[in-house]
Amino acid sequence: MKKRALLSGITGMDGANLTEFLLDKDYEVFGIKRRTSGPGFGNAIHLLDKVTLIDGDLLDQSSLNAAVKISRPDEIFHLGAQSHVGTSFKQPSYTMECTGHGTLRFLEAMREFAPQARFYNASSSEMFAGVTGGPYNERSPHESKSPYASSKEYGFLTTKNYRESYNMHASSGILFNHSAKNRGPEFATRKITKAAARIKLGLQDKLIMGNIDTFRDEGHSKDYVEAMWLMLQQDKPDDYVIATGETHSIREMIDLVFSHLDLNYQDYFEVNPEFFRPAEVNVLLGDSSKARSVLGWQPKYTWKTLLIEMVENDLLLEAKQHGL
């Protein structure tokens, strides 16, 4: 009999990539989709005939209860969130309700209607943002520097509480930065690759960014969704840092992408102070030794192969869209 998986955030980058991963492993996949006035299928549009979508919302307990009852999941992957740090400063209450309390609501639905299931919670390296030093592992202290990070901290602690209080198989993956060719254009890596492709094709003049001298540990979404799955295959639930273990500045990433297209980024780059965070995070570097040892996880992509894959894909997308 096929395993059944229920995903929140199925229309996002990780959601779509995890769905493909699970389908390759012959899972029956159910996805929670928030009702909108438009289609709103996002990155999952090519998967519609392969999954079952259930209307639901992380702000609404009854809809999450229904989704769990309908899907009868063996495994639950909770990826849904308001996931943009910059937006969280503009919409702090919504971010906490969706990203923080949404995790609580999902755990309650599982506790009530599928207590035997295994639960994965997508946590974030932003929880370490205010801590000096690094690399950060599962024992490192947390200090949030954004409403998004605070909401992820709430979800992380709530998942741990339900694991310990109700003996639930509930694990959190503390994921460092990761991207893929289906990354949203509002995120730094995709903003860079999309702009570089458009500049190369003569469709755009400038790449406008905020602080590019921050350093990030950047991996590939396909590597990271495999780590999510591995966590739920363990006999005991636990929390794991998922990271590449190396860090590079946004400036380095821009230089790599533009150089790949035989462009000098300095000819096309502009800083806009409006894009700076109210509380800047200078360096995030992860130590995933535990995941590598316990889960047997290893990243297959480097930051260079990731960014080159992304910009080559954006070249194809932009050229096709504009008939070039």
27 is catalytic: no
Q: Is residue 267 over pLDDT 60? A: yes
Q: What is the mean pLDDT of the chain?
A: 93
Catalytic member of 27, 120, 148, 154: 148
Share above pLDDT 70 across residues of the chain, in percent, rounded to a whole number = 95
As a residue count, the chain comes to: 324
Residue 127 is classified by DSSP as: G
Catalytic member of 8, 71, 88, 124: 124
Q: Is residue 43 over pLDDT 70? A: no
Neighbour tally for 127: CB within 10 Å: 25
Catalytic member of 28, 75, 126, 218: 126
| pTM value surpassing 0.85 | yes
126 is catalytic: yes
The model's pLDDT over 228-259, given as tens digits with 9 standing for 90+, comes to: 999 999 999 999 999 999 999 999 999 999 99
Q: CA geometry: angle at 183 spanning 190 and 73, to 5°?
A: 165
* pLDDT (0 to 100) of residue 37: 46
**Cβ burial 178-206 (10 Å sphere, 16+ → b, else e):** bbbbbbeeebbbbbbbbbbbbbbbeebee
Task: Enumerate domains of the chain plus CATH numbers.
Answer: 4-178+220-242 (3.40.50.720), 185-216+248-283+303-321 (3.90.25.10)
148 is catalytic: yes
What does the alpha-carbon distance between residue 165 and residue 152 come to, in Å, rounded to a whole number?
A: 20
What's the mean pLDDT in 199-212? Answer: 94
pLDDT band of residue 24 (cuts 50, 70, 90) is very high
The model's pLDDT over 57-116, given as tens digits with 9 standing for 90+, comes to: 999 999 999 999 999 999 999 999 987 888 999 999 999 999 999 999 999 999 999 999
